[in-house]
Amino acid sequence: MARCQCGGGGCNCVIVAGENTTVTGGGSTANPYVVNAQVDCADVRPCISAGPGATYDPNTGVVGAHLSPDAGNNLVLDPSGGLFVPTGAATVSTGCGLTGDGSASSPVRARTGTWDFPCDLDANAGRVFCDSTGVLRSEPRGRTFFQQQSTTDNNPNTPVPAVYPTQIADHSLTFTNPDSCRDMFVICETELDIDFDLPPGSGAAWGIVGDEQGRLSNTGSSTQFDVHAQLTKVFHLTVGPGQTFTQHLYVQAGTGFGGAQYNKVQSLIRAFGIIL
């Protein structure tokens, strides 16, 4: 430093520490000047301001991330203080039957009604399923079923058997459960009508499947022709999913005496199916 008459291992320059600086050393080669500068936070803070996406507190000097308060924003600060977007936080638009936007604070949910029945929901409510195309489906819908068969046998006059029960006809109805998922509860109704010719002092009985349901006798003095009465029997049964079932009506007669004869056997079989 020529102007400071530096040489010979010494220097005559005078260095004075300014604001926020310190000077040490004597200016020699062995002990050079060392200038240190220090800036206080209070001096720096007026130079800092918040910008897009950032916050700044001039009182504490803390710079942070600015999280939007708008609905649908999923950016959060995790427990460690880092910025975090939860998995599956992408928002969605919901339609009929759904609520929420898919965020952590508003997850997508099914819009449900109020169970206002006196029975227990868990034990009695139906279920919802997802089909192969991703469409929600309910349990199979309830169904009803009806089928009937009317049969008439016109016979030549035939003596009524003496022993009851003696089978004189077999009429039947074959039907199939149309549901491939559930049992069908069937109420089956059968009707039977037999025409008898009854000379004086004769009689006969008839019925369905071992059940004697009617008995006639002629106590008069002339023959009664085509005497008949229609009888009904009702019972129930269950037919499995998709199964075919044949319901028989075994027509029986007997206790014939005095020359009693029959000439016509008519029946009707009805099947009422309920599928739930």
Integer-rounded Cα Rg, in Å, for the chain is 52
Of 217 and 18, which is predicted with more confidence?
Answer: 217
pLDDT band at 123 (very low <50, low <70, confident <90, very high): very high
Q: How far is residue 152's CA from residue 190's CA, in Å, rounded to a whole number?
A: 14
In sequence order, the β-bridge partners of residue 115 are none
- Per-residue pLDDT of 243-268, as tens digits, reads 999 999 999 999 999 999 999 999 99
Residue 47 per-residue DSSP state: G
Most confident range (mean pLDDT) of 44-58, 106-120, 145-159 is 145-159
Q: Which residue has the higher pLDDT, 274 or 95?
A: 274
Q: What count of Cα atoms within 13 Å lies in the side-chain half-sphere of residue 134?
A: 0
Quote the pTM value: 0.63
Whether residue 99 is predicted with pLDDT greater than 90 in this model: the reply is no
pLDDT of res. 190: 96
pLDDT at 8: 58
Domains assigned to the chain = 1-38 (no CATH), 143-275 (2.60.120)
Residue 169 makes CB contacts below 8 A (sequence gap 6+) with: 153, 250, 251, 265, 267
* Cβ-based neighbour number of residue 192 at 10 Å: 25
Q: What is the pLDDT of residues 33-92, one digit of tens each?
A: 888 877 777 777 777 787 787 888 888 878 888 888 887 677 788 888 788 776 655 667
Compute CA distances 209 → 145, 168, 250, 262, 272, whole Å. Answer: 25, 11, 5, 18, 20
Specify the higher pLDDT residue, 151 or 95.
151
| Dihedral pair phi/psi, residue 224, rounded to 5° | -100, 125
* Average pLDDT rounded to a whole number, residues 92-113: 82
pLDDT > 90: what percent of the chain? Answer: 56
Indicate the pLDDT class of residue 3, thresholds 50, 70 and 90: low
Express each pLDDT in 7-27 by its tens digit: 555 566 777 877 778 888 777
At residue 88, the pLDDT reads 58
